[in-house]
Structure 1
Amino acid sequence: MKRRDLFKGGALAFLGGALISPYDTIAGLAPKQKLGKTAKNIIFLVSDGMSLGTLNLASMLLERKNGKTSNWLSLYQQQGKVTRALMETASANSLVTDSAAASSSWGGGVRVPNGSLNVNADGSENMPIWQKFKKAGKSAGVVTSVMATHATPAGFCVNSKKRSDEAGIAKKYLELGIDVVMGGGLENFDAKLRKDKQDVFADYTKKGYAVCKDRQSLLAHTGVKQPVLGIFYEDALPYAIDRASEKELAEKVPTLAEMTKQAIATLSQNKNGFVLQVEGGKVDWAAHANDTPAALYDQIAFDEAIAVAIEFAEKNRDTLVVVTTDHGNSNPGLYYGSKADKNFDRLQKFKYSNNWVLNGIGKSTSASQLIERIEFAQGYAIKEEDAKAILKHYEKLDEEGLYNPYKLPYKQYAQIQSEYTSVGWGGIQHTADYVELAMFGPGSELLKPFVKNIELHNLMLEATGVMV
């Protein structure tokens, strides 16, 4: 079977700088060897906060539903076609990294403290890798399912002491001339939502960008040689499972795969090549909430973007594709029991995330109404005492957790839900697990079986022959 055939009818159908020379010998690079071909392009795909369990569960869900494994694991089944490694993910000040430091390790080639973007503890800065490639004449872009100004895309592009300065990062992208910027985060671009009332959309338009605010305008941009700013939602984009169940959302918000395809179509018009980072950012958000359906279906949406990247790389053999995550999060798994298979298969028919369920109830919701809402959204009926226990939190919202500003009872709901799915979670935070890393295309032969995150910076420079 030809590798390109693996992606036909698969997951795509499921949901609708360090100052060191890149040529210096460093740990993590294979012994110096002559490359078969220099990479002209790089597509770097990151499923943010993806524990190995998330990858496993999403692939099993796909296989049990439509008989095809994930595109990521399909690559592994083709021996000799993909180089695979484990990656250590620490930051400068912790064994457990945040996304800013993790992305900066790739972006700047140096481990920085959690919370900062390519800024060292002493205040010095490391040039981000997308800036290096811009200086070499390549086009550069970032695509994400969360805010376009969030930590992971920003780590490849900008320097900032605080990852939280997303309003400032929106303007830095323009100053740097990042050619494609796509995701959510209207509040960082729209004059009505920004604190300083600056119309950043207008600033991009003045610099010649096509500004897209919905799916249709983005899809209409195909083949146009023009930089693109695509901001489609306030805050992060909706979870993939919720988007698929809401006609209005599906019409307004593009999928990660669609954004990836449009980004490649724009960037690939540069004869000098391009570099693109694609982030499945809401996999991490779902893991922080122990939201099983959100995590698995967003992982599947990310997997669809992998298929887009591989399809392009199959046709353009000068393209290096990197597929990985920046860190683990909460370590989900399918746990043994007499009903484990039957319970897990329930996820095939889920319509909505736990986030959708919990944000649609309040103090006035009755136990029977909550039971009915869950049965509609996810196909099972919880016990009355469990419904009452969930609703008790709404009397005084008190649960903690990152990306949980309303303190909704995500963790407790996940514990109750595990009785019906057999999926359990190890916590609600990032982990220090070594993570999966796969490479396909020219430059992948440089990868050793075990690397530190910072080593990918120089590997990408060497693979492309860029020396800055």
Structure 2
Amino acid sequence: MLRNTAAIALALAAALPAAAQELPQASSEWFTDAQAVIEARKAATPNTNRARNVILFVADGLGVGTNYAVRVFDGQRKGLLGEENVLPYEAFPNVALVKTYNINAQTPDSAPTAGALNTGVKQRFNLINLGENAITGDCASEAGNRLTTFAEIVTGMDKSVGIVSTARLTHATPAAVYAKTANRNWEGDAPEGCTDIAAQMIEAMTSGLVDVALGGGRRFFHGEEQMDGDGKGGRRKDGVDLIAAAQEAGAQYAWNTETAQALTLDGSAPILGLFDASHMKYEHDRPEGEIGLVDMTRMAIEALSTNANGFYLEIEAGRVDHANHAGNLHRTLTDGVAFAQAVALADELTDDADTLIIVTADHEHAIAFNGYCGRGTPITGLCHDVANEGVKHSDELVAADDGKPYPVVGYLNGPGSVLKKQEDGSYSGEREALTQAQATDPDFLQQALIPKSSETHSGEDVVAWAKGPWAHLLGGTIEQNVIFHVMHAAATAE
């Protein structure tokens, strides 16, 4: 059979690479936007400067799924459909997936995950900054197992150190900057021979290790007889007034907006801000004018930037985690948006040339996303069907096999379980037939399967986004402790 040379020539021509602008899809905005991304990445060059400053952002409990919900929620509040939204840190050029398990736990705890970020090694469940031979709850096992922290390393380089958290400053993630303990719950009391976390923080501040500490948790810094600014007694069994001790050592102290505004942010004295007896308020519940995460971020950077040698600052959105535990998506997402705003502010106040910013989480939660929902479906609400025309969802709600609509977001376990305890101790129940108004109410608890009073963490990966000196060392799928080594390499680069 004779070859059809004309057909072969046409096929070969079609197989040759076509210039992007010659493709039929070249006029699509999706196509041109993607081309712009590629060109920007081609032009990028690694920043190999030494990092004068290192800022580690940790949104407690903000794994891949929770972050997706924050992205959509933030976009929808801006009037977008939501899915196309880009959070400030999602534009950072360097990204890695992060494995979060602890050395003895598939599902991680915040204490050892934060410890891994601050020491460079994975740790045991419920421990903070102790080596793998330490035993949870065993005070004596602290000796010989205390690890050196990133804060200690940079203090030796004459840098300043700061901590910001919407949780108690004695809580697991902020405590990992300065504390070493066999039990994360020893916040204001510890067995004989060990030092509780609050006392360790004041020791760190008076010794020059911690220069700025802003967050919640007053109750573990004074006894029952000493009233705080809100007239509340503390929980220290030893009755020691650690706040007074810090002030006597020269620290400035603030407990509300007025006293925070009176602080001198010139680096002349350490700063201790304790803005609630326990955790600070959720962003949804924070009164206008009351100190929040963005305010604390600005204060900390302004104070720490007075050190010509630079600083290390860990900033935690601690209550993203708490709202997930409560099964309350709305508060999870409003705190997540505040976290994104704090990242944007820190980026604005610093220079990429000398500041490494890493944004990550310690772990994810048992959060899940139902389908098949059309574009723009309210992320906190019920699932709308996909429309056959246009890009926005239809007006029809998608029903499950029980004939009832269902929320976009649920949890595998938690207080919103559809199974309720009966008088005989057994569990049974069925899903409520929700309206959109009920599902989008800020106090709504997402539907869950397994009944638990507090929803659990999960072992899923989280993400790390980075920009600045040596941020390009982040990439691929990494162990969580690698993040410490990126920070260390950037801060000590020749």
- The answer to whether the superposition gives a TM-score over 0.5 is yes
How far has the Cα of 1:34 moved from its partner?
A: 8.8
Native 8 Å contact 1:51 1:330 kept in 2 = no
Over 3 Å counting, the alpha-carbon distance change for 1:134 and 1:296 in structure 2 is same
Gaps of 5+ in 1: 1-32, 244-248, 347-388, 400-410
How far has the Cα of 1:238 moved from its partner?
A: 1.2
The CA distance in 2 between the partners of 1:162 and 1:343, in whole Å, is: 37
1:104 pairs with 89, 110, 115, which one?
Answer: 115
Aligned to 1:232: 275
Q: How does 1:325-344 map to 2 (within 5 A)?
A: 325-333=361-369, 335-336=371-372, 341=377, 344=380
Aligned to 1:39: 51
The CA distance in 1 between the partners of 2:432 and 2:168, in whole Å, is: 25
Aligned to 1:15: none
Where 1:307 maps in the other structure, the secondary structure is: helix
Q: Deviations over 1:114-163 (max 9, x none)?
A: 00001124231211211111122111011111101100011122211111
Aligned to 1:56: 68
Native 8 Å contact 1:109 1:458 kept in 2 = yes
The structure with the larger Rg is 2
The CA distance in 2 between the partners of 1:319 and 1:343, in whole Å, is: 34
How far has the Cα of 1:61 moved from its partner?
A: 1.7
The CA distance in 1 between the partners of 2:430 and 2:283, in whole Å, is: 23
Aligned to 2:469: 442
Aligned to 2:242: 200
How far has the Cα of 1:300 moved from its partner?
A: 0.9
Q: Deviations over 1:31-69 (max 9, x none)?
A: xx9962110001100010113222122221221222477
Aligned length: 370
How far has the Cα of 1:174 moved from its partner?
A: 2.1
The CA distance in 1 between the partners of 2:340 and 2:464, in whole Å, is: 14
Q: Determine whether 1:219 maps to 2:261.
A: yes
Q: Determine whether 1:164 maps to 2:164.
A: no
The CA distance in 2 between the partners of 1:326 and 1:264, in whole Å, is: 22
Q: Determine whether 1:454 maps to 2:454.
A: no
The CA distance in 2 between the partners of 1:102 and 1:263, in whole Å, is: 23
Aligned to 1:274: 311
Aligned to 2:410: none
Q: Deviations over 1:248-293 (max 9, x none)?
A: x434x41101001101111111111100000011111111111111
Q: Please tell me the residue identity of whatever aligns with 2:477.
A: F
Aligned to 1:322: 358
Native 8 Å contact 2:75 2:85 kept in 1 = no
Q: Determine whether 1:125 maps to 2:146.
A: yes
Aligned to 2:333: 296
Over 3 Å counting, the alpha-carbon distance change for 1:239 and 1:74 in structure 2 is closer
Q: Determine whether 1:264 maps to 2:301.
A: yes
Q: Please tell me the residue identity of whatever aligns with 1:165.
A: W
Q: Deviations over 1:341-369 (max 9, x none)?
A: 257469xxxxxxxxxxxxxxxxxxxxxxx
Where 1:166 maps in the other structure, the secondary structure is: coil
The CA distance in 2 between the partners of 1:343 and 1:439, in whole Å, is: 27
Sequence identity, in percent?
28
Aligned to 1:151: 172
Over 3 Å counting, the alpha-carbon distance change for 1:208 and 1:303 in structure 2 is same
Native 8 Å contact 1:131 1:176 kept in 2 = no
Native 8 Å contact 1:330 1:425 kept in 2 = no
Q: Please tell me the residue identity of whatever aligns with 2:216.
A: G
1:209 pairs with 251, 260, 263, which one?
Answer: 251
How far has the Cα of 1:72 moved from its partner?
A: 6.3
Native 8 Å contact 1:280 1:299 kept in 2 = yes
The CA distance in 2 between the partners of 1:465 and 1:303, in whole Å, is: 28
Native 8 Å contact 1:333 1:425 kept in 2 = no
1:190 pairs with 222, 226, 239, which one?
Answer: 222
Moved over 6 A (4+): 68-72, 411-419
Pairwise CA RMSD: 3.3
Segment of structure 1 superposing worse, 411-420 or 97-106: 411-420
The CA distance in 1 between the partners of 2:169 and 2:481, in whole Å, is: 23
The CA distance in 2 between the partners of 1:174 and 1:413, in whole Å, is: 50
Where 2:341 maps in the other structure, the secondary structure is: helix
How far has the Cα of 1:224 moved from its partner?
A: 3.0
The CA distance in 2 between the partners of 1:339 and 1:112, in whole Å, is: 41
The CA distance in 2 between the partners of 1:228 and 1:66, in whole Å, is: 35
Gaps of 5+ in 2: 1-44, 135-144, 189-195, 225-233, 383-416
How far has the Cα of 1:76 moved from its partner?
A: 3.4
Over 3 Å counting, the alpha-carbon distance change for 1:232 and 1:153 in structure 2 is same
The CA distance in 2 between the partners of 1:269 and 1:41, in whole Å, is: 12
1:420 pairs with 439, 445, 450, which one?
Answer: 439
Segment of structure 1 superposing worse, 175-184 or 64-73: 64-73
Native 8 Å contact 2:123 2:132 kept in 1 = yes
Aligned to 1:464: 491
Q: Please tell me the residue identity of whatever aligns with 1:183.
A: G
The CA distance in 2 between the partners of 1:36 and 1:452, in whole Å, is: 23
Where 2:170 maps in the other structure, the secondary structure is: coil
Q: Report the TM-score, using the length of structure 1 for normalisation.
A: 0.72
How far has the Cα of 1:191 moved from its partner?
A: 3.1
The CA distance in 1 between the partners of 2:149 and 2:435, in whole Å, is: 42
The CA distance in 2 between the partners of 1:324 and 1:64, in whole Å, is: 23
Relative contact order, higher structure (CA 8 A, sep 6+):
1
Where 1:95 maps in the other structure, the secondary structure is: coil
Over 3 Å counting, the alpha-carbon distance change for 1:74 and 1:265 in structure 2 is closer
The CA distance in 1 between the partners of 2:248 and 2:481, in whole Å, is: 36
The CA distance in 2 between the partners of 1:414 and 1:300, in whole Å, is: 29
Where 2:377 maps in the other structure, the secondary structure is: helix
How far has the Cα of 1:94 moved from its partner?
A: 1.2
Over 3 Å counting, the alpha-carbon distance change for 1:41 and 1:342 in structure 2 is closer
Over 3 Å counting, the alpha-carbon distance change for 1:202 and 1:85 in structure 2 is same
2:203 pairs with 152, 175, 184, which one?
Answer: 175
Native 8 Å contact 2:46 2:470 kept in 1 = no
